[in-house]
Chain A
Amino acid sequence: MTMPLSAPAVAPVVAARTRVRIGYLLVLAAILAAAVVPFLAPPYVVQNYTRVLIVALPTVGLNLLTGYGGVISLGQSVFFGLGAYVTAILVADHGWAWWQTLPLAVALPLAAGVLIGIPSLRIRGVYFAIVTLVLAAWFPNVIQRFNETTGGNQGKSLTVMQAPGWLGLAQDQYGYLVSLCFLLLVLLLLRNLARGRTGRALTAMRDNEVAAATQGVDVARTKIYVSGLSAAAAGLGGCLYAATQGIVSSETAYFTVVGAIEFLAAMVIGGAGTVLGPIVGALVTERLPVLLSDVDPQLAVAAYGVLLIVVVRVMPAGLVGFATTLARRLTARVTQHHTTVNARNEGKP
């Protein structure tokens, strides 16, 4: 005869299952809500939200690198810019279609990411961050240096992605939906990655690299792999940026230190090491300047600065982490109550 599980033992399991169910529902609701936006909002708002989706990509990459891999990088702007320029140059000067540039726009940053992954193996945390900061500061100068090809600070314009006629969508709506699809694709890929061998390796490495190595994790290879992936995600973002905004230049903030900091801020504010974090973070960093644009656009930048410091000290897990902890406490209490009530009822003959 089996002993029935006592109420306290059952509660956490039920709570977890409830949480997962709620989680799935929330994700579904979020995707639906996101898909509906371009049909409800005016074009300039849709474009702003498109940028949210695009900025989420390098942030997701950074999240992989820093949140899961433990390497701090201020260099995502470089990979973002590389992807953007590959697309811009091929479309504007060589007549490619934007989607044809995708493989190269992702491959070049990926290679660069792998390359930068090698020194990250040896150089410790904050010092590596400084090196990436220096590279991010240098990048706009490199753009300027090759200004015959890149258009330097004058910029290079390219035709934005055109919606195929049969869809009946406006250009801004098309750009938004394409970006949304890519973001979801990347998130799906990363989810599978997190569940696979690489994900387990990363979790093991995050806790203790030496221990992970003794368990057969190839720390070096995983780190370089992740560095490449992170850069590739940023490159994809850059490609989409060029294809939806239609202009790139060495003055574009996203290709400078300012952009690198924005991606970092987005990751931290949203919550490093969480899946939704980068998106929530990108939402904050992209919408904030728009909301504050009447007052002073720079105020938003000042706000990131303050937010970075404050969040790190007050809410180290970011908005998503904070929300998750809150949800956990709520669901635990609710299911505890339910299970106790049920147990009491069942106990009656």
Chain B
Amino acid sequence: MDLFLQRLVDGLANGAIYAALALAIVLVFQTSGIVNFAQGEMGMLATYLVWALTDVGVPVLLAILAAMVVSFAGGAALERLLIRRIDPEDHLVTVLVMTGLFTLFGALALIFFGSDGRQVPSPFPEGSLALGSVRVPYATIGALLVLGAVCAGLAVLLRSTKLGLGLRAVAQNRASSALSGLPVGRLLGIGWGLAAALGALAGVLVTSLGLYLEPSMMLPVLVYAMAAATLGGLDSGVGAVVAGLLLGVAESLAVGYVKVLGTESALGVAAVVMLLTMALRPSGLFGTTKVARV
């Protein structure tokens, strides 16, 4: 039982990261109708920024804040310069541009930082809380709290503010929003900016949980975040978070209990979840957009 709980706790930690990145993907999808699979790489670059800042003595929390702000600006710029001209219905162009960005960002990281792993100071205290014989690392609690704060913040923004209403309107019906005078371009940029900042947060959470910062660190996270976004429903933020946490736990339990899988099969779990979701319930658990032909 204790082993189960321990695995559950470990799973939740990863789940929080998957949820954060999945939320970013859903945010972009709702805003622009595009699945941004370079989201992870963008988060990775932001984490390198955090490292670079802490390396010159900036306190870690400030560095994270700065990286989030820079990510926001970067995301907005990307939307304005590149994304706005893509027709989301043209799947080939979308895939090519997203792949191009994915490749470019990964290569930039390798060029400027090389492939060696680096340690990034964690904003969370070291050590863990002992609940019975289950160890709950402070980092895990921290990650879950951060996720909670992000969700709460986004919910308040979207439901209770004018900006949030504008974002929702643009996501639902861009044409009608324009006709009502909404600054559509600016709102699209803000949507991408928020998503990029979230991606940065996801990247920082990865290193805060103990992993080394290196250019390919976000690929497995991206895979799980995609699976989570698909499972939850590409246009459902709630779905993304729930599915992210679920997948984190499922991964931890599956790998722990089903020995034949081994740690390497973790990504396969994501692939299977994705395929099953697309085959059985194309709009995901909570969403409405169908990813499969009916």
Indicate yes or no for A touching B, C-beta below 8 A.
yes
- Chain A residues close to B by CB (< 8 Å): 66, 72, 74, 119, 121-127, 129-131, 133-135, 137-138, 141-142, 144-145, 257, 261, 264-265, 268, 272, 296, 298-299, 301-302, 304-309, 312-313
Q: Which residues of B (141-178) have their CB < 8 Å from a CB of A?
A: none
Give the contacts of B41-95 with A (CB-CB under 8 A).
Answer: 82, 85, 91-95
- B270 contacts chain A at the CB level, 8 A cutoff: yes
Could you say which of B94, B104, B262 contacts A302, with CB atoms under 8 Å apart?
B104
- Please state if A309 and B107 are interface contacts (CB–CB under 8 Å): no
Shortest Cβ distance from A130 into B: residue: B226
B106 touches A301 (CB 8 A): yes
Within 8 A of A (CB), among B185-243: 219-220, 222-223, 226-227, 230
A interface: dominant SS:
helix
A122 touches B293 (CB 8 A): yes
Is B104 a contact partner of A306 (Cβ separation < 8 A)?
yes
A147 to chain B, nearest CB (A): 9
- Does A131 contact B271, Cβ atoms closer than 8 Å? yes
Chain A residues near B265 (CB-CB < 8 A): 141-142, 145
Give chain B residues whose Cβ lies under 8 Å from the Cβ of A305: 99-107
Q: Are A123 and B278 touching (Cβ within 8 A)?
A: yes
**Known contacts A124-B291, A138-B268, A308-B100; A131/B111 CB under 8 A:** no
The 8 Å CB contact of B262, one of A122, A145, A304, is A145
CB closest residue in chain A, given B266: A141
Residues of A within 8 A of B291 (CB): 123-124, 127
* Interface residue SS majority, chain B: helix
B129 in the interface (beta carbon within 8 A): no
Q: State in angstroms the CA–CA spacing of A279 and B223 once bound together.
A: 31
Taken together as a complex, chains A and B put the C-alpha atoms of A121 and B275 apart, in Å, by 12
User: A66 is contacted by which of B37, B92, B100, B106 (Cβ under 8 Å)?
Assistant: B92
A124-B292, A133-B37, A309-B100 known; A119+B223 contact, CB < 8 A: no
Fill in one digit per residue for B116-136: 1 if any A CB lies within 8 Å of its CB, else 0.
000000000000000000000
A301 CA / B270 CA spacing, docked (Å): 27
B110 within 8 A of A: yes
Task: Assess whether B253 is interfacial by the CB under 8 Å rule.
Answer: no
A-B contact pairs, 6 of them (CB 8 A): A119-B279, A122-B293, A131-B274, A131-B278, A133-B223, A302-B108
Can you list the 10 inter-chain pairs with the closest CB atoms, starting with the nearest? Answer: A305-B104, A125-B91, A308-B100, A305-B103, A302-B107, A141-B264, A309-B100, A301-B107, A138-B267, A127-B291
